A and B are shown apart, each in its own frame.
Chain A
Amino acid sequence: KNQVEQSPQSLIILEGKNCTLQCNYTVSPFSNLRWYKQDTGRGPVSLTIMTFSENTKSNGRYTATLDADTKQSSLHITASQLSDSASYICVVSVSGGNEKLTFGTGTRLTIIP
């Protein structure tokens, strides 16, 4: 069964600090992996998309890594800001199209001043 697991479930850090969120997946056949940011009560917003051949991708202060051999990904947030408080969701797409995405349960990140 295709599954995406994330850790930690929740994280609280001080403003300005860095953090790393983890994602493990068992989706097969793999097509691509995405990280989304979801504010409470809002729709997810895409941060990065990585295919099998990509090891890292950055979007401003967000840097995602992918190890397709171990089926792990991470999202690193640098110099956190209060507006980074949100849920971060790892999403994996099955090969053949992105039509059916498998979502992780997310990491709830809280930035405190």
Chain B
Amino acid sequence: EPEVTQTPSHQVTQMGQEVILRCVPISNHLYFYWYRQILGQKVEFLVSFYNNEISEKSEIFDDQFSVERPDGSNFTLKIRSTKLEDSAMYFCASSEDSYNEQFFGPGTRLTVL
């Protein structure tokens, strides 16, 4: 069964460093998403991406964040200068279209020291 994959599973970085989180969505899906979940809190929407551009983003997704689909399979989230409060689990998701079920990856745990 096709699934969303994410790498790395755990990323530790120093405050102020740039990190890139990688995702491979399900191959025939057209809509891609990033979410984050701070430990013990609810999942929060960050951004959605369709047709090579951002279609929706939350207030969390500020200038420190960017997304890219560098090739036909990968979808990345870049945090330019990490802050302590960026420590969280980051989930990638994909869906066939905007009304269908979103399939989530296993997540990347980001720890900013």
Which of A41, A43, A100, A103 has a CB less than 8 Å from the CB of B42?
A103
Q: Does A10 contact B (CB under 8 A)?
A: no
Query: Which of chain B's residues 18-62 have a Cβ closer than 8 Å to chain A?
Result: 31, 33, 41-45, 48, 50, 55-56, 58
Which residue of chain B has the shortest Cβ distance to A45 in the bound complex? Answer: B104
**Segment touching A, from B64-72, B76-84, B93-101:** B93-101
The CA-CA distance from A47 to B104 in the complex, in Å, is: 12
* Residue from B42, B44, B56, B102 in contact with A46 in the complex, judged by beta carbons closer than 8 Å: B102
Shortest beta-carbon distance from A6 to chain B in Å: 9
- Interface positions, chain A 21-56, Cβ under 8 Å from B, are 31-32, 34, 41-46, 49
Which among A49, A98, A104 has the highest number of chain B CB atoms within 10 Å?
A98
What are the 4 tightest A-B residue pairs by CB atom distance, in nearest-first order? A43-B104, A97-B98, A99-B48, A103-B43
Interface set of A (CB-CB < 8 Å, partner B): 31-32, 34, 41-46, 49, 89, 97-106
20 additional contacts, CB 8 Å, given A34-B101, A45-B104?
Answer: A42-B107, A43-B91, A43-B93, A43-B104, A44-B43, A44-B91, A89-B43, A98-B95, A98-B100, A99-B33, A99-B48, A99-B55, A100-B45, A101-B45, A103-B43, A103-B45, A104-B42, A105-B41, A105-B42, A106-B42
